[in-house]
């Protein structure tokens, strides 16, 4: 009489006979922290990467109540790490909103100045601005800076802003600046024109509605201005044209394409924009529709919606690398514990195909505030002291890995012989 074959052995043999198993590689290469010992609410508002460096700028507000006078200081720390996560240096950088890597260091746009750090973390150049620095862009050995602010006096509101042209060399040398009676918060460069826009940019909020787009010549001459009426939340360039998204009422916004001559080529109702990435003839726009985080792909120049994806939290930051669209989402939550209000960051990172298919989700990252990509890797900054360095290819949904080989053949033969002895 034949004895029964143990079920577990049958399962093992069947598993081996399948030959291949699906193994999804771990996307997070390593995690890091910056200004972890700062007691105030902090955020990795800017990040950058080179082949051998990862830069993370941790920014925070220090509130001091001295003899009844409340003072707010905008501070921050820039940290540099090796490609494998070893911290190399850190230095004070002020409240940093943007980083741009250089061959010999990194540029940091802080609220009060543009700073140039060398590879050892020393400040080797600086250019002070008159208002808060919100944006800058590097182009052909020049840096173009946007600054702005608003002022309340006697019940009225006034605005002030500039676009600066700074030569990028051993130091940072100012060439020209243009003054606007507007709060300039975004700047981009196309062939033969510099675009500057106004409004509270992504990551900031205010109670007043305004917004314009300006054209400036490479020589610093104001060419034209276009009144938008609402905050320009992000500004990019497509084939020499300006591409911009606006926001108001927390959920509404429009999408524009404007020519170098200041002519509106496209004006479509959309949603409250947070970030735009242009790839080829597609504009990926992320933001919030009042209920969900929203990400759309718009065909240029028609503005036709190719696809739309909804998320639990607002889409704050976007980046594109190696055929993968990275969408950082999140929000802030506050909770009262023992009489103290604590602010928490919740959110997730999503990887999508250019066709809008969600390939993978990186859960519980916290509110994603910044993304930088380089050579198949990405650094993800969150609304805390934590950031993640991830393998973009691993976010594509996993790869098939074979377990076939000499070891597999020997194991299979042993299993078969064992089964025969039991029968």
Band (333; pLDDT cuts 50, 70, 90): confident
Band (273; pLDDT cuts 50, 70, 90): very high
Q: What is the pLDDT of residue 39?
A: 85
pLDDT digits (tens, 9 = 90+) for 302-319: 999 999 999 999 999 999
pLDDT digits (tens, 9 = 90+) for 217-265: 999 999 999 999 999 999 999 999 999 999 999 999 999 999 999 999 9
Q: What's the mean per-residue pLDDT of the chain?
A: 88
Terminus-to-terminus CA distance in the chain, angstroms?
9
pLDDT digits (tens, 9 = 90+) for 161-170: 999 999 998 7
User: CA 314, CA 370: separation in Å to the nearest integer?
Assistant: 13
Domains, the chain, with CATH or none? 129-270 (2.130.10.10)
Q: What is the pLDDT of residue 66?
A: 62
Give the pLDDT mean for 360-374. 96
Q: What is the pLDDT of residue 70?
A: 67
Q: What is the pLDDT of residue 202?
A: 79
pLDDT digits (tens, 9 = 90+) for 126-165: 999 999 999 999 999 999 999 999 988 888 889 999 999 9
Q: What is the pLDDT of residue 56?
A: 98
Band (414; pLDDT cuts 50, 70, 90): very low
Tokens of 106: 């990194």
**Res. 23: pLDDT tops 80:** no
Instruction: Check: CB of residue 231 under 8 Å from CB of residue 248.
Output: yes
**Res. 416: pLDDT tops 50:** no
CB neighbours of 95 closer than 8 A, spacing ≥ 6? 45, 59, 60, 61, 74, 75, 76, 110, 111
Give the pLDDT mean for 92-117. 96
Whole-prediction pTM = 0.87
Q: What is the pLDDT of residue 206?
A: 76
Residue 300's SS3 state is: coil
Q: Helical H runs in 263-347?
A: none
Report which of 180, 116, 119 is spatially closest to residue 143, judged by C-alpha positions.
Answer: 116
CA 349 to chain centre: 11
Give the pLDDT mean for 355-371. 96
Query: What is the CB neighbour count within 10 angstroms for residue 58?
Result: 28
Band (108; pLDDT cuts 50, 70, 90): very high
**Res. 397: pLDDT tops 80:** no
Q: What is the pLDDT of residue 423?
A: 47
Tell me, letter by letter, the H, E, C secondary structure of 364-423.
Answer: CCCCEEEEEEECCEEEEEECCCEEEEEECHHHHCCEEEECCCHHHHHHHHHHHHHHHHHC
CA 127 to chain centre: 24
User: CA 46, CA 133: separation in Å to the nearest integer?
Assistant: 13
């Amino acid at each position: 009489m034949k004895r029964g074959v143990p079920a577990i052995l049958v399962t093992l043999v069947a598993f081996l006979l399948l030959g291949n198993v699906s193994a999804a590689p771990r996307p997070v290469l390593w995690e890091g922290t910056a200004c972890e010992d700062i007691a105030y609410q902090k955020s990795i508002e800017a990040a950058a990467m080179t082949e051998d460096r990862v830069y993370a700028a941790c920014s925070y507000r220090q509130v001091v109540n001295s003899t009844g006078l409340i003072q707010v200081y905008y501070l921050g720390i820039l940290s540099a790490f090796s490609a494998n996560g070893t911290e190399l240096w850190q230095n004070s950088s002020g409240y940093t909103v943007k980083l741009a890597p250089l061959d010999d260091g990194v540029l940091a746009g802080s609220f009060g100045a543009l700073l140039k750090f060398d590879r050892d973390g020393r400040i080797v150049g600086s250019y002070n601005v008159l208002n808060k620095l919100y944006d800058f862009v590097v182009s052909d050995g020049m840096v173009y800076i946007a600054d702005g602010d608003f002022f309340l006096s006697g019940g009225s509101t006034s605005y002030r802003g500039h676009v600066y042209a700074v030569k990028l060399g051993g130091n940072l040398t100012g060439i020209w600046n243009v003054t606007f009676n507007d709060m300039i918060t975004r700047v981009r460069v196309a062939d033969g024109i510099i675009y500057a826009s106004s409004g509270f940019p992504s990551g900031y909020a205010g109670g007043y509605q305004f917004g314009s787009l300006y054209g400036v010549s490479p020589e610093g001459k104001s060419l034209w201005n276009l009144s938008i009426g609402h905050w320009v939340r992000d500004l990019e360039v497509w084939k020499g044209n300006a591409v911009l998204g606006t926001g108001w009422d927390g959920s509404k916004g429009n999408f524009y394409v404007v020519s170098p001559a200041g002519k509106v080529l496209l004006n479509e109702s959309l949603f409250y924009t947070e970030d735009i990435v242009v790839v080829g003839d597609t504009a990926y726009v992320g933001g919030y529709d009042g209920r969900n985080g929203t990400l759309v792909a718009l065909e240029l120049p028609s503005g036709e919606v190719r696809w739309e994806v909804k998320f639990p939290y607002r889409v704050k930051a976007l980046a594109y690398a190696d055929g993968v669209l990275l969408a950082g989402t999140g929000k802030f939550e506050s909770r009262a514990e023992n009489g103290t209000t604590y602010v928490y960051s919740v959110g997730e990172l999503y990887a999508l195909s250019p066709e809008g298919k969600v390939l993978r989700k990186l859960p519980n990252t916290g509110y994603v505030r910044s993304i930088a990509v380089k050579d198949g890797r990405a650094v993800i900054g969150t609304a805390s002291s934590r950031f993640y360095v991830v393998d973009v290819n691993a976010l594509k949904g996993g790869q098939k890995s074979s377990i076939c080989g000499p070891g597999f053949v020997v194991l299979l033969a042993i299993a078969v012989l064992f089964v025969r002895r039991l029968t």
